[in-house]
Structures are given as structure tokens and as C-alpha cells.
């Protein structure tokens, strides 16, 4: 299968893209370097905020936040806060604040329960229906 040439979302250069949303080798390398820079900056300045990091290293805020969310900066004992992906409250770990995390897990559990209940009801209805059919 031939690789399709697409524009890199980072620099706009046309290159043979191995998959959707991928960056060209140049940008990948640059991003890795930036992540290393961010990581060492944060080690030296554990109390800096996300905007301070961006200003100091001229990196994209999204990159810093992506690193935080994936836990890449956690072991450097940082004190950075970034907004919860749901309510915007400032947090330090993961994607959501405690309240949203709890709410989301609760919602998932509740919808699973609903799905199970529906399936059980469907089975019951079908059971009755086929019995009626049988009686006729």
C-alpha cells in the first residue's frame, strides 16, 4: 500500500503521512525536544504555572497540558495546576477534578446499569410475547 502525502498539522509541510493526525519527522523531533525542555524546566522550576512555562520556552499550552494529563510530568514533583477537562477547576492530576471524576465514574456505572436493566426488560417482554404466540 502506498503512503499518502498529506500536510503536517504542525508546519504544513507535505510529507508521506503514516496515519491521520501524525506530524512530519521534523515536527515529531521538535515536539520531543520541547517535551524534554518542558520536563527539565519543570524540574528546575517546580512552582511555575503553565503560562510561565509557555512564556519561558515558547511552547504551546496544549503540549504542556497534554504532558500533564498523560502523567509525563508527575514524577518531577511539580506544582502546576491546569483546568479540569469538564468544569475548568484547577487540578494537578489526571484529566478531571475529584468531583468530576466521581461524577463521570458514577454516570458510567449508572448507564451500564440502565443498559443491563433495559436488556433484562427486553428479554422479559420477548418471553411474554413468544408465550402469547405459543398459546394462539
Shortest Cβ distance from residue 101 to Zn ion (Å)? 8
CB of 24 to Zn ion, least distance (A): 3
Q: How far is the CB of 2 from Zn ion (least distance, A)?
A: 20
Site string for Zn ion, 5-24 (x = CB under 5 A): ---x-xx-x----------x
> What is residue 49's three-state secondary structure?
coil
Alpha helices in the chain (DSSP H): 25-44, 50-57, 61-69, 98-135
Position 38 contacts Zn ion (CB under 5 A): no
User: Is there a contact between 42 and 73 (Cβ–Cβ < 8 Å)?
Assistant: yes
Q: Are 38 and 64 in contact (CB under 8 A)?
A: yes
**Residue 98 or 126: which CB sits closer to Zn ion?**
98
Q: Is 52 helix (H, G, I), strand (E, B) or coil?
A: helix
Out of 16, 55, 62, 87, point to the residue binding Zn ion (CB under 5 A): 87
Residue 21 · residue 9 · CB < 8 Å? yes
Task: Give the CA count within 13 Å in the CB-facing half-sphere of 88.
Answer: 0
Query: Considering only residues 86, 94, 95, 104, which one is a binding residue for Zn ion as defined by CB under 5 A?
Result: 86
Q: Which of 38, 50, 68, 100 binds Zn ion (CB under 5 A)?
A: 100
Q: Which is nearer to Zn ion, 33 or 121 (CB)?
A: 33
Amino acid at each position: 500500500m502506498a503512503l499518502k502525502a498529506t500536510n503536517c498539522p504542525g508546519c504544513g509541510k507535505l510529507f508521506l503521512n503514516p496515519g491521520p493526525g501524525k506530524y512530519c519527522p521534523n515536527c515529531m523531533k521538535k515536539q520531543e525536544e520541547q517535551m524534554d525542555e518542558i520536563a527539565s524546566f519543570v524540574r528546575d522550576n517546580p512552582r511555575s504555572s503553565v503560562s510561565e512555562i509557555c512564556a519561558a520556552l515558547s511552547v504551546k499550552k496544549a503540549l504542556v497540558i497534554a504532558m500533564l494529563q498523560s502523567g509525563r510530568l508527575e514524577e518531577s514533583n511539580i506544582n502546576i495546576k491546569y483546568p479540569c477537562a469538564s468544569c475548568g477547576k484547577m487540578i494537578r492530576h489526571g484529566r478531571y477534578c475529584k468531583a468530576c471524576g466521581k461524577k463521570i465514574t458514577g454516570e458510567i456505572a449508572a448507564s451500564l446499569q440502565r443498559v443491563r436493566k433495559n436488556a433484562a426488560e427486553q428479554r422479559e417482554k420477548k418471553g411474554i410475547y413468544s408465550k402469547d404466540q405459543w398459546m394462539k
